[in-house]
């Protein structure tokens, strides 16, 4: 790929999102001109923090209205852009009635619509897609089929569906669709970032992020009696932003990139929080045996199938490719967890409790 002209605007979709906010912040701090899209530019909770960033940085920001399910709605925001970062996609694993409408349709059709605009915009040279390790694997039990039980960029999730792990299914379909569209032309190239569970401080007060929900549930008494033995691949949101920046501007960047600092259990996260914040909050102190977790699953808003296929199965994600080809290094997970919880407290999302 020829070098990106940094005097041209750069489109970052899904500007009100948790990850997108940090990407926009980084690009603005580098003095770049950023276009971003949100569903409702008149909603203060979606744009106020973005406008504040722009005010306090050397870059320029323009906010456009666009909807993932509205074909052509990204065309105007993309005019004259050589670089498009597509981050917009729903991220929640529960609390919906219809997985296809809530997750699968917006993820897949949104990718089709954004890349449709890319194909109509002759200036675009590169697309960076925010995918997920959810497109690498569906359940942690899947690691048993991986060489040395280590997931790499060669692996694709083939165990999820709209009925089981629908979020993972939506990310897999969306990324697969992006690769198909990319291969059908030769003007622009596609680079994919596959983050693990993204934690770290948020730039807005949005509480709908699954990342915020995970930390809140570990500290608000939801898991007071204990947590399942569940391994999670973790990465700091600030490192995810850096990965997108490097994927955008390194001419040799190509393919998929697992962006993960490491893997920890829910109990590891709880222990980290307890070590830093003591007994002010009801952090869980023990793991619930898998048979008891299976029985109690409905009370924790998870399915028994999920318990069967994920609890008790360790995973390892290789971040070698991102370190070698995106020049990535990663913050320690403990630092990420502590910084995230401090932000939650500063934002008033949780009040001091008793363990």
For β-strands 316-317 and 150-151, DSSP reports them as parallel
Give me the catalytic one of 25, 125, 171, 279.
Answer: 171
pLDDT at 212: 85
Give 51-75 pLDDT, tens digit per residue. Answer: 999 999 999 999 999 998 899 999 9
Give 151-188 pLDDT, tens digit per residue. Answer: 999 999 999 999 999 999 999 999 999 999 999 999 99
pLDDT at 120: 98
The answer to whether residue 5 sits within a structural domain is: no
Give 218-250 pLDDT, tens digit per residue. Answer: 999 999 889 999 999 999 999 999 999 999 999
For β-strands 231-236 and 262-265, DSSP reports them as antiparallel
The answer to whether residue 355 sits within a structural domain is: no
Total domains, the chain: 1
Using the predicted structure, report yes or no on whether residue 315 has a pLDDT greater than 50.
yes
Give 80-108 pLDDT, tens digit per residue. Answer: 999 999 997 655 444 556 677 777 888 88
| Global model pTM greater than 0.85 | yes
User: Quick check: is 275 catalytic?
Assistant: no
Interior/surface letters 153-164, b for 16+ CB within 10 angstroms, e for the rest? bebebebbeeeb
Domain extent at residue 42: 10-346
Using the predicted structure, report yes or no on whether residue 198 has a pLDDT greater than 90.
yes
Query: What is d(CA 322, CA 139) in angstroms, rounded to the nearest whole number?
Result: 22
Strands (E), the chain: 10-12, 33-38, 60-65, 83-86, 126-130, 150-151, 189-195, 197-199, 231-236, 255-259, 262-265, 316-317
The answer to whether residue 353 sits within a structural domain is: no
Query: What is d(CA 353, CA 355) in angstroms, rounded to the nearest whole number?
Result: 7
Give 292-302 pLDDT, tens digit per residue. Answer: 999 999 988 88
pLDDT-derived band at 352 (thresholds 50, 70, 90) equals low
Query: What is d(CA 135, CA 152) in angstroms, rounded to the nearest whole number?
Result: 11
The answer to whether residue 351 sits within a structural domain is: no
The answer to whether residue 258 sits within a structural domain is: yes
The answer to whether residue 50 sits within a structural domain is: yes
- CATH of residue 323's domain is 3.40.50.720
The answer to whether residue 81 sits within a structural domain is: yes
- Residues ≥6 apart with Cβ < 8 Å to 184: none
Query: 40-46: long-range contacts (C-beta < 8 A, 24 or more apart)?
Result: 40/65, 41/65, 43/16, 45/16, 45/204, 45/205, 45/206, 46/15, 46/16
CA distances from 78 to 37, 64, 272, 336, 351 (A): 10, 10, 43, 33, 42
Q: 199: which strand partners?
A: 236
The answer to whether residue 1 sits within a structural domain is: no
């Amino acid at each position: 790929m020829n070098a990106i002209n940094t005097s041209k605007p750069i489109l970052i979709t899904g500007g009100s999102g948790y990850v997108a906010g940090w990407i926009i912040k980084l690009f603005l701090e580098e003095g770049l001109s950023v276009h971003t899209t949100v569903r409702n530019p008149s909603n203060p909770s979606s744009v106020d923090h973005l406008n504040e960033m722009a005010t306090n940085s050397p870059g320029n920001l323009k906010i456009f209205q666009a909807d993932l399910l509205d074909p052509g709605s990204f065309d105007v925001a993309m005019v004259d852009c050589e670089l498009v970062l597509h981050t917009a996609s729903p991220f929640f694993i529960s609390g919906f009635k219809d997985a296809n409408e809530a997750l699968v349709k917006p993820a897949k059709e949104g990718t089709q619509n954004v890349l449709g605009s890319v194909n109509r915009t002759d200036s675009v040279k590169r697309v960076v897609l925010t995918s997920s390790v959810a497109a690498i694997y569906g359940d942690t039990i899947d690691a048993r089929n991986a060489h040395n039980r280590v997931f790499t960029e060669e692996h694709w999730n083939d165990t999820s569906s709209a009925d089981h792990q629908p979020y993972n299914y939506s990310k897999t379909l969306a990324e697969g669709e992006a690769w198909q569209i990319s291969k059908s032309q030769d003007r622009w190239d596609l680079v994919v970032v596959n983050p693990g569970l993204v934690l770290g401080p948020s730039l807005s007060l949005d509480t709908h992020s699954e990342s915020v929900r995970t930390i809140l549930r570990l500290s608000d008494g939801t898991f007071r009696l204990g947590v399942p033995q569940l391994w999670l691949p973790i990465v700091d949101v600030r490192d995810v932003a850096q990965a997108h920046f490097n994927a955008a501007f390194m001419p040799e960047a190509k393919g998929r990139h697992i962006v993960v600092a490491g893997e920890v259990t829910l109990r590891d996260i709880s222990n980290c929080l307890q070590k830093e914040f003591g007994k002010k909050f009801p952090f869980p102190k023990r793991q619930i045996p898998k048979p008891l977790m299976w029985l109690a699953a409905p009370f924790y808003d998870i399915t028994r199938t999920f318990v069967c296929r994920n609890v008790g199965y360790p995973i390892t994600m290789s971040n070698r490719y991102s370190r070698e080809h995106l020049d990535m290094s990663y913050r320690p997970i403990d630092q990420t967890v502590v910084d995230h919880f401090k932000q939650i407290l500063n934002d008033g999302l949780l009040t001091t409790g008793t363990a």
